[in-house]
A = this chain, B = another copy of it.
């Protein structure tokens, strides 16, 4: 996986449990949620975090001036809702119907105490996410709108395991608020990619990647790694 393909991988509030370690498999309780259901709101008491089992979730923060920041999109395998205080700092809701496994905060804390290996895994995951986040956020600060949109598409594709046909569960507004752009700018750059025959847009929520090579190139052109 290219390093630039990491954005959605680096969701701050969600860190991914390595697939080989089904850390919480012992907990059989699955909760089904419908699209638009909320898992928790900003300010809610932090009692559970959630392992996403199915569906796509959105973590967002709404500021008093009405602006909104999409903090992370969470996919199956991600943990979402980690908080360091007694309260959540973000809203989290479902973009699609899905399933989550709630993990009680208390259970997690005691598990960490009694199972050092688990603590080490979590720490390692957190450090990894921290590092990825640093890279991502700074890259986002520097990239042009076109590069951000292209990066987002590449990352989404990688993350969801899609090949050439990508179904976006989020709106242009969500993408804009995630990438630090406006809806119009996201839309214009989607059009730009379409006009250059890099993608097709059979409908707004569907992206067919015609030329992955060039899409990646556009995503990375300014920020090349050695």
Residues of A within 8 A of B (CB): 12-13, 15, 61-65, 67, 69, 71-72, 82-84, 89, 109, 112-114, 116-117, 119-120, 122-124, 126-131, 133-142, 180, 222-226
Contacts and interface: CB of A to CB of B under 8 A. Distances in A.
Closest 8 CB pairs of A and B: A137-B137, A12-B134, A141-B180, A119-B119, A126-B126, A84-B128, A64-B226, A64-B224
Contacts of A72: 134
B71 A224 contact: no
A225 B102 CA distance: 28
How many identical chains are in the complex?
Answer: 2
Contacts of A61: 135
Given A69-B142, A112-B119, A113-B120, A130 B12 contact: yes
Contact of A131 (B84, B124, B127, B223): B84
